[in-house]
Structure 1
């Protein structure tokens, strides 16, 4: 049995994926498990939007409009499934907006780990255009919502090589008070 620490340590971003993607039904248990992140007052200040097929083309047009380009962006076509991560800030005297955004970020990261563990390639894409009017409008965001980016999800290419990163010096990142 694989240990969770090994799964997390083996995670990498896949900037190139195949056209394969999990179905809506395959996503549901992963989303449910992702919802287990720490969530002060259990507000669930987030939601996810699946973008497949033409929805990705609409996103490409919205990105182009946001960036002042004449041609639609092809970035959203790099994966068959994009999952938009939306923070839905709720008025709460105990839980500030930044903490709610942290919860939504935690859900996105947890979902990316679960997708990785299920054998999918995942890449979290963001950019200045995530907060632009055309992209907000395309996602039909409410006034209390912000887009944190998209998880690009697809199959891991057969010729893919494991990612490599510099080892982390954990001792330099943790201290005692």
Structure 2
């Protein structure tokens, strides 16, 4: 088995990345593929916000405001590209809110796999401030939207393969219906 199987096994979070980042054009190509996740009724209940340069400073100020601090948090400066993952809920009598959030999460996860496979270091970061008004306002979120976190993206620094994650014991996590 190759392709998706190997990408899933090789996936890891890169908490430290270099200042390199995919171009806007490269990002669009990967997002077009990530958007192919299972999506009941094809609602596309998600959107992504690309943050580069000064956008990260603006986010840093919003994070500090949300936490009651002055100045600007340095957290958004940990990577040259942040991709805000937004659940953008649609009215539907067939597709509940939780399922729409699962689609947005699926897009984010698949995008992280695609970025990793393309040679970029990625980590999905969250925090209590993802639900803060100041942070939502900085992102221009609408009333029907929620921020699920950010994909921090940059170049992969040199690192040995020995840091591979532990193997998952699927037998512990898969059972038959009682």
TM-score range, shorter chain: over 0.9
Aligned equivalents of 2:29 and 2:54: distance in 1?
Answer: 25
**Contact 2:37–2:106 at 8 Å: present in 1 too?**
yes
> In the TM superposition, what is the alpha-carbon distance from 1:134 to its structure 2 partner?
0.3
Note the alpha carbon deviations across 1:15-48, whole angstroms, 9 max, x for none.
0000000001001111011011000000000000
Aligned residues: 176
Per the alignment, residue 80 of structure 1 pairs with 80
SS of the aligned residue for 2:101 comes to helix
Per the alignment, residue 19 of structure 1 pairs with 19
> In the TM superposition, what is the alpha-carbon distance from 1:71 to its structure 2 partner?
2.8
Per the alignment, residue 165 of structure 1 pairs with 165
Per the alignment, residue 47 of structure 1 pairs with 47
Aligned equivalents of 1:120 and 1:167: distance in 2?
Answer: 22
Aligned equivalents of 1:7 and 1:14: distance in 2?
Answer: 15
Per the alignment, residue 65 of structure 1 pairs with 65
More moved, 2-11 vs 118-127: 2-11
Provide TM-score, normalisation by structure 2.
Answer: 0.96
> In the TM superposition, what is the alpha-carbon distance from 1:2 to its structure 2 partner?
4.3
SS of the aligned residue for 2:14 comes to coil
Aligned equivalents of 1:94 and 1:70: distance in 2?
Answer: 44
More moved, 66-75 vs 49-58: 66-75
Per the alignment, residue 141 of structure 1 pairs with 141
Gaps of 5+ in 2: none
Aligned equivalents of 2:99 and 2:4: distance in 1?
Answer: 25
SS of the aligned residue for 2:61 comes to helix
Per the alignment, residue 106 of structure 1 pairs with 106
Gaps of 5+ in 1: none
**Contact 2:10–2:164 at 8 Å: present in 1 too?**
no
Which structure 2 residues correspond to residues 1-40 of structure 1 after superposition, within 5 A? 2-40=2-40
Per the alignment, residue 115 of structure 1 pairs with 115
> In the TM superposition, what is the alpha-carbon distance from 1:98 to its structure 2 partner?
0.5
Aligned equivalents of 2:172 and 2:138: distance in 1?
Answer: 43
Provide TM-score, normalisation by structure 1.
Answer: 0.96
Per the alignment, residue 93 of structure 1 pairs with 93
